[in-house]
Amino acid sequence: MSAQSWNVALVIWRESVEALLIVGILNAWLTQQPRADAVRGRIYLWSGVAAGLVAAVTFGALLIGFGESLSDELLQAYQTAAVLIAAALIVQMVIWMRTHARSLKRELEASLQRAADRANWWGVFVLALIAVAREGSETVVFLYGTLAGARSDQAMTLIPAALFGFALAIVTYYVLQLGSRVVSWRVFFRLTEIMLLFLAASLLVTGVDNLIGLGVLPPLSGRLWDSSAILSDSGGAGGIIGALTGYRARPDLVHVLVYGLYWGLMWLILFWPRQGKAA
């Protein structure tokens, strides 16, 4: 697969697993309820899932439709904003899951129990809708930012990658349900959050490239070095690594500064609080 295909498959895989996890928790809780309540609750659950999918698709259509109404210059700026927002959403997703992963099941079940106590199954509907719409909308923004520069015929070739990512998510969810006999949810989220942080870094660097092209940012220097003889970023393995990590064989000073500041900020956000508590 191409570098873009791997990016598409990775994000759809991770986002789909998160959505399946939340829907799975809701469905598992319903199985513990009296049969009549479980049947009624599942109607609201799957209606919420369907509504969330409709909301995400509608958002995607609006995003694309608005972009097509812009002039070429404004479209470039719009697509650059989409790339940077996609990077921010991926970082936000990683931080949110790291913060809520341990208590997610408990929080969802508490919300479900309150809804059941009030005989208000719309709470199940809303939880499912929010979960699916949130993950779906993040995926839409990411895909738009990633595919902004692709031709329509190239975009069509990425459909198999999207389907592969979703199929892999279903398999992953099933395997993770087996528990620590195979791999734990904790290990899964730690490994994939590293992959996603590198992907966000790649989108950030792409956004910086676009901002330099628009004249918003100066390069600050000429090429600091040229490592293309060792690993080029224009194709093959180097192109895939560049798309997945933000690697540039001939970076300007602004690329190096932004990349370094990004990883410094990620270290402070994700690891500094833990070290502070340990002390």
Q: How far apart are the first and last CA of the chain?
A: 46
Number of structural domains in the chain: 1
The encoded tokens of residue 19 equal: 């959505």
> Can you give the pTM of this predicted structure?
0.77
Question: Which tens digits make up the pLDDT trace of 173-199?
Answer: 888 877 656 667 777 888 888 888 998
Question: Which tens digits make up the pLDDT trace of 61-120?
Answer: 898 888 888 888 888 888 889 889 988 988 888 888 877 767 777 777 787 777 766 767
Q: Are 221 and 261 in contact (CB under 8 A)?
A: no
State the Rg of the chain over Cα. Answer: 21
Residue 255 CA to residue 248 CA, distance in Å, equals: 8
Identify the pLDDT of residue 183: 67
Q: Is the pLDDT of residue 152 over 80?
A: no
Residue given tokens 């990620």 in the structure block: 266
Helix, strand, coil shares of the chain, percent, nearest 5, are: 80, 0, 20
Question: Which tens digits make up the pLDDT trace of 206-241?
Answer: 899 889 988 898 888 888 898 888 888 776 777 778
CA 82 to chain centre: 13
* Structural domain for 168, as ranges: 3-278
Q: Is the pLDDT of residue 261 over 80?
A: yes
Identify the pLDDT of residue 1: 62
